[in-house]
Amino acid sequence: MASNEAAEVKEEEEEREDATMAKLGSYGGEVRLVVDGEESAAEEIMLLWGIQQPTLSKPNSFVSQSSLKLSIDSCGHSLSILQSPSSLGTPGVTGSVMWDSGVVLGKFLEHSVDSGVLVLQGKKIVELGSGCGLVGCIAALLGGEVILTDLPDRLRLLRKNIETNMKQFCLRGSVTATELIWGDDADPELVKPMPDYVLGSDVVYSEGAVEDLLETLGQLCGPNTTIFLAGELRNDAILEYFLEAAMNNFRIGRVDQNLWHPDYRSNRVVLYVLVKK
């Protein structure tokens, strides 16, 4: 009798687990849904920190923020991403150097295309907070028609990295850069037509920026737009604040690490897929 009860409990747990897995948007892999509810954002944070224990993992596993450039191979090419370490000490400036979340997101896109669960060829892609531009450059190598965006004072480094890395290759896609201030009205080139994909790495970094970020995501996303956001697990309160606010207008799923590039996984990084409700 006890064994039957144990089997029933296990079956219920498996059914509950299956119920939280689904495909979102144009991504072919199954993601773990962050289910709407009063405490769901808090539960996601507790689960995430409990499973990954980010504070016990080494930061900056894939980058060196004191270096003037990051060298990385992607899509059969060697990329050399210039950084500006001296700008990192300026308050509010984080996009002058690479972070692990950007490398993880870029290599995730490459791995997903290679695995056949994602198609970027010919797709319109907008990246938010592009920083040094690695993610967008990889998306262009994968065939995307990519528009990189950032604040006006970040565009010089961004365009330099596009020039340095993309002009020498016969691109399957295209890549340009333009300014975008979150919360402001997006330029027509960004929303006409609506992007197929919106990308962002390390864009959830302060509570003050969340409202403007979500306003911009809302502007850029139509019914067929898929968002990929990768972030550093630094501050649980800020991520919880973002998830709680985002749930009002978006369905959210977390991508398990077994779907990431096998050589680029970090317990200090999380990767979400979002689609508009």
Into how many domains does the chain fold?
1
CB-CB contact of 22 with 251 (8 Å): no
pLDDT in single tens digits along all 277 residues of the chain: 445 554 554 454 444 445 589 999 999 999 999 988 878 999 999 999 999 999 898 888 999 888 889 999 999 999 999 998 876 655 454 568 899 999 999 999 999 999 999 999 999 999 999 999 999 999 999 999 999 999 999 999 999 999 999 887 767 899 999 999 999 999 999 999 999 999 999 999 999 999 999 999 999 999 999 999 999 999 999 999 999 999 999 999 999 999 999 999 999 999 999 999 9
Listed residue (164, 135, 165) closest to 147, CA to CA: 135
What CA–CA distance (Å, rounded) separates 25 from 10? 30
Listed residue (49, 54, 109) closest to 266, CA to CA: 54
**DSSP H or E run through 191:** helix 188-191
CB atoms within 10 A of CB 238: 17
| Greatest Cα-to-Cα distance within the chain, rounded to the nearest angstrom | 70
pLDDT of residue 219: 98
Residue 146: give its domain's CATH number.
Answer: 3.40.50.150
pLDDT of residue 58: 85
What CA–CA distance (Å, rounded) separates 63 from 101? 10
| Report field, pTM of the whole predicted structure over 0.85 | yes
* Domain containing residue 194: 1-276
What CA–CA distance (Å, rounded) separates 163 from 159? 6
Residues contacting residue 271 through CB under 8 Å, at least 6 positions apart: 104, 105, 108, 228, 229, 230, 231, 254, 255, 260
Q: How many CA atoms lie within 13 A of 134 on its CB side?
A: 32
Phi, psi angles (nearest 5°) of residue 10: -60, -40
pLDDT of residue 107: 98
What CA–CA distance (Å, rounded) separates 256 from 101? 14
pLDDT of residue 12: 44
CA distances (Å), origin 7, targets 10, 11, 15, 18: 5, 6, 12, 16
Listed residue (234, 168, 226) closest to 206, CA to CA: 234
CB atoms within 10 A of CB 244: 18
Sign of CA dihedral 107, 242, 225, 144: negative
What CA–CA distance (Å, rounded) separates 234 from 240? 12
